[in-house]
Amino acid sequence: MKKKAVILAGGKGTRLKPYSIVLPKPLVPIHEYPVLELIIRQLRYYDFIDITIAVNHMAELIMAYFGDGSKWGVKIEYSLEDIPLSTMGPLRLIKNLPDNFLIMNGDVITDLNLSSFYDKHISSGALFTIASHKRTIKSEYGVLNANELNKLIGFSEKPELKFLVSMGIYMANKKILGKIPEGVPFGFDHLMKKLLDDKENVIVYPFDGYWLDIGRPDDYSQAIDDFDSIKNVFFKD
C-alpha cells in the first residue's frame, strides 16, 4: 500500500531566531543538510513516497529546493496557505487524502520507526494517534507550598517535573477533516479539545528513543552536536 505523509512547514520559526531570519525553519541546516531534507530521506526509507508539504512562510524557497522530490525518490506536492492556518487548518486544503495518513512537523529529528507507528494506528482503529515522548523540566527555584493561611506546609528544592508531550508526529483518519473548520486558523490544541469533547478514539503512542523539536534553539544546537551519532537514521542503505 502506498503511504501518504503530510509535512507541516508553514510556520515562521519565531522560536528559532536568529537562525530563521534568513531561511524558513525547515531549511535551517543540520550540518550541511536542511532539516526537512533529513525528514524526507527518513520518510522515503519507510516507504512514504507520496508527500504533501504544507507551506506558507518563505514558501518559494522550500519549493525551489525540493521541487517535485524526484531527487530523493519521492513525489512531492505543495499546499500553499493564503493565510496562516496554524497546524491542523492546512489539512482542509489538501485534496484526495487517503483513509489514513501521517502528519509531521517540519522540524522534528527522531529515530521513531514510522512504519511501526503507521501500523499501530491502523490496527487500533483510532481516529487519531499521537507520538509522545517524556520531557523533564527542572525548576531553577525552590518551590514553596503554602495553605490558605499562607503557612508553609511543604518545600521542594529545584524539583523536576515530568510531562508526556506530543512529538509533532501523528497518524490521522481522514474523518478528522470534518472537525476542522475551513479558512480559519485551527491548531493541534483546538483539534485535541474537539476530539475529547466528541469522545473520539485518540491513542497516545509512547516512544522513548531519540527525539528533538529543533524549533527550540537549545534543541537545534543539540541536534547539531548529536548528528554524527544519529545520521544513520537518515542515510540508510
Whether pLDDT at 24 is above 50? yes
Q: Which residues contact 225 (CB under 8 A, 6 or more apart)?
A: none
Work out the mean pLDDT of the chain and round it to a whole number: 90
Q: Domains of the chain: which residue ranges?
A: 4-132+164-233
The mean pLDDT of 173-179, rounded to a whole number, is 96
Give 13's pLDDT tier (boundaries 50, 70, 90): very low
Compute the distance between CA of residue 151 and CA of residue 147 in angstroms, rounded to an integer.
6
Q: Model's pTM, two decimal places? A: 0.88
In this predicted model, which residue has the larger pLDDT, 164 or 21?
164
In this structure, the strands spanning 211-213 and 152-157 are unpaired
Give 116's pLDDT tier (boundaries 50, 70, 90): very high
Cell of 47: 516507504
Which class for 33: exposed (0-12), middle (13-18), buried (19 or more C-beta within 10 A)? middle
Q: Do 169 and 103 meet the contact criterion of CB atoms below 8 Å apart?
A: yes
User: Is the preceding omega at residue 90 within 30 degrees of 0, hence cis?
Assistant: no
Q: At what angle do helices 59-66 and 35-45 cross, to 10 degrees?
A: 50
Question: Which overall architecture, per CATH, does domain 4-132+164-233 show?
Answer: Alpha-Beta Complex (3.90)
In this structure, the strands spanning 211-213 and 75-80 are unpaired
Whether pLDDT at 76 is above 60? yes
